[in-house]
Amino acid sequence: MMHTLRLFSPAKINLFLHITAQRLDGYHDLQSVFRALDFGDWLAFRLYDDMDSAGLGGGDTENGIPPISLTGASHLTKNLDDNLIIKAAHALAKHSPKQVQGVHIHLDKHIPTGAGLGGGSSNCATTLIALNQLWGLNLDTQALIDIAATLGADVPFFIFAHAHQCDAVATGIGEILTPIHLPKRAYLLLMPDAHLATAHFFKHPDLNKKSLFINDLSSYATWFDLTLTPPFHNCFETIASQDSPAVKDALAYLHALPCHATPRMTGTGSCVFLPLEAEMIDQAAAWRDAAPCRAVICHSLNGL
């Protein structure tokens, strides 16, 4: 039986982000294309051999869940039980309690929080994938996606991308996913030190909530892959630039670079990125080093 597992937990970007309607339940319908990246976090899992390790904490004795401990994440939440990694482990344990074992999880964090890169959601999904293997639950992809959807709107994408090894068109509140096959792409990713207030942005009077729903996105890939041709856009980008000088400066830096690609923001920010043409990848190292904030060159995990 497997006792340890180490998995990559990728970041994601939105190639565009449209809100197509506001729903009666207060949520918003969106349309976007998600890409998983080779930049991300790592999660290490180790099953406890001694099931009497009650002093480890992180379990739920009332519901019969053995100890689940987490290191490397104390700076992310005041209470570790609020971390999506722990929530994922508990959700899976409650779904299949008879096969659960105590587990220690260590997070090696590289994705900044509040950046629109889906770091917490990715960690959550990676935990579901790992514990499904370590606990021998044998849940299929759809079962994991159903559990993931109860934990966060972006979590199902990372299950989907891992299972299908492709990017996804996201609709609904982000939980309806269909495959899309795009060219492999490198990106210059800038991560300003800014944590933006997503809830505030959704209430902003200038937010466009009536973007047209676009059918057959695969036929429009050249409109949002390298360049961003109207009507494709990120509906939060202008608002975020007004709210955060750091985001505005990072976008201005990318716009000033000598290339034909369109810089843009991912999610509700604060991370911004520039798709790289093949002939620009060597030059991109100098652009990364001169950037006004933390920057990395990364690649899509999937692509043609």
Out of 12, 87, 167, 248, the active site residue is 12
CB atoms within 10 A of CB 48: 17
Three-state secondary structure along the chain? CCCEEEEEEEEEEEEEEEEEEECCCCCEEEEEEEEEEEEEEEEEEEECCCCCCHHHCCCEHHHCECCEEEECCCCCCCCHHHCHHHHHHHHHHHHCHHHCCCEEEEEECCCCCCCCCCHHHHHHHHHHHHHHHHCCCCCCHHHHHHHHHCCCCCHHHHHHHHHHCCEEEEECCCCEEEEECCCCCEEEEEECCCCCCHHHHHCCCCCCCCCCCCCCHHHHHHHHCCCCCCCCCECCHHHHHHHCHHHHHHHHHHHCCCCCCCCEECCCCCCEEEEECHHHHHHHHHHHHCCCCEEEEEEECCCC
In the residue annotation, 12 being an active-site residue is answered as yes
Structure tokens at 275: 């798709």
In the residue annotation, 50 being an active-site residue is answered as no
Q: What is the largest CA-CA distance in the chain?
A: 61
Q: How far is CA 166 from CA 47, 161, 183, in A?
A: 30, 5, 11
Out of 29, 41, 87, 154, the active site residue is 154
Pair type for strands 294-299 and 176-180: unpaired
* Residues annotated as part of the active site: 12, 154
